[in-house]
Amino acid sequence: MDSEIAVDFSPVLKIYKSGRIERLMGETTVPPSSDPQNGVVSKDVVHSPDTNLSVRIYLPEKALAADEKLPLLVYIHGGGFIIETAFSPTYHNFLTAAVSASDCIAVSVDYRRAPEHPISVPFDDSWTALKWVFTHIAGSGQEDWLNKHADFSKVVLSGDSAGANIVHHMAMRAAKEKLSPDLEDTGISGIILVHPYFWSKTPIDEKDVKDETLRMKVESFWMMASPNSKDGSDDPLLNVVKSESVDLSGLGCGKVLVMVAEKDALVRQGWGYAAKLEKSGWKGEVEVVESEGEDHVFHLVKPTCEKALEAMHKFSGFFKGGDK
C-alpha cells in the first residue's frame, strides 16, 4: 500500500515503500512580481527546456529605466539537497531583500532535488544554470535584464547550507572549465558561503560537534542525497575541510566571505574551511563572520531580527567593497 512508510524523516520528508516522496516543508511557492517589492521586481525564465528548469531573476526597479550595469549575484538555495526551491517564500523574500540592500541584479538557481535526483544532479544542474547566465556576457543572451544590466566584471556566487556547498564546487570547477569562451579568467569575483554544509565522519577539531546523534542527523541528509557514495560523509564533495585529498588552492575567485552561526552544528566547518583556504596557497582574501547566539539559517527563519539585519549588512557590503 502507498501509505506504508519506508523512511520517516519528519519534519523534513517521508519516503513511502511505493517510492513516493512526501516533502513536509519548503514546498510552498510564490510567483515573481512585476510590482516592486522592497523596490525590486522579479521574473522567471526557463533556461533548460530539456529538464524544465527555471531561474528567478531579481532587479531593482529603478534600473529598468536606466542603462546602468549592476553587480551580478548568482544564488543557490539550501535545503540539504532535498527540500526548498528557488521559488519558495523564504528565498523569494531573502533575494528581494538582498538585491535591495546590495543594489545588484540576482539570478536565483533552481535544481532537481535528491533523493529522486541524487548527487551529482544538483551540482550538474547548477553548473548548467551558471553557464546559461554567462551566455549573456556579450549582451546577446536570451534574457534582456541580464544583457542590459549585469556587470560581468563583478560576479558573486552565494548560497546557504547545501547551496553554499554547491557554490564552493562551482568556483572550483570554473577554474578548470571555462564558463564562457569570452572569459580570460573564471569570471567569478567572489563567493559568499552562508552556513556552508561541509561535514566529515569525525570531528574536525576539539570544538566540533561530538554528540553522535546530532552528527548522524547532519550526515543523514547527505546519505539520503547521495545513497551511492562509497565514502559516506567522507565523500570529497562533502568532506571538503578535513579531507587531506581536497586541495583548495585552485578556488576560482579572489575573495571569499564565510558566514557562520555560533549555535549551528556546522559552525566549525565554516571556520575550518577559511583556515584551510588560507593555508592552501590560494592567493585571495577570506573573511569569516560569526553571528553570536544564532543557529543554522536563522536569517531565513527570522529575517527582521537584529542579527539577521547585521548579517544582511555584511552580505551587501561584499558587493560594495571593490572588484576582484
Kindly list the catalytic residues. 161
**Contact between 243 and 200 (Cβ < 8 Å):** yes
Q: How far apart, in whole angstroms, are the C-alpha atoms of residue 199 and residue 159? A: 16
Q: Please name the residues in contact with 287: beta carbons below 8 A apart, sequence gap of 6 or more.
A: 256, 257, 258, 274
Q: How far apart, in whole angstroms, are the C-alpha atoms of residue 50 and residue 56? A: 18
Vertex 259, ends 254 and 261: CA angle to 5°? Answer: 165
Q: Which of 322, 53, 69, 26 is nearest to 160 (CA)?
A: 26
Q: How far apart, in whole angstroms, are the C-alpha atoms of residue 193 and residue 289? A: 10
**Contact between 40 and 96 (Cβ < 8 Å):** yes
For the chain, first and last CA: distance in Å?
57
- DSSP assignment of 39-66 equals TEEEEEEEEETTTTEEEEEEEEHHHHTS
The single residue listed with the C-alpha cell 553548473 is 127
Joined together, the cell numbers standing for residue 20 give: 513516493
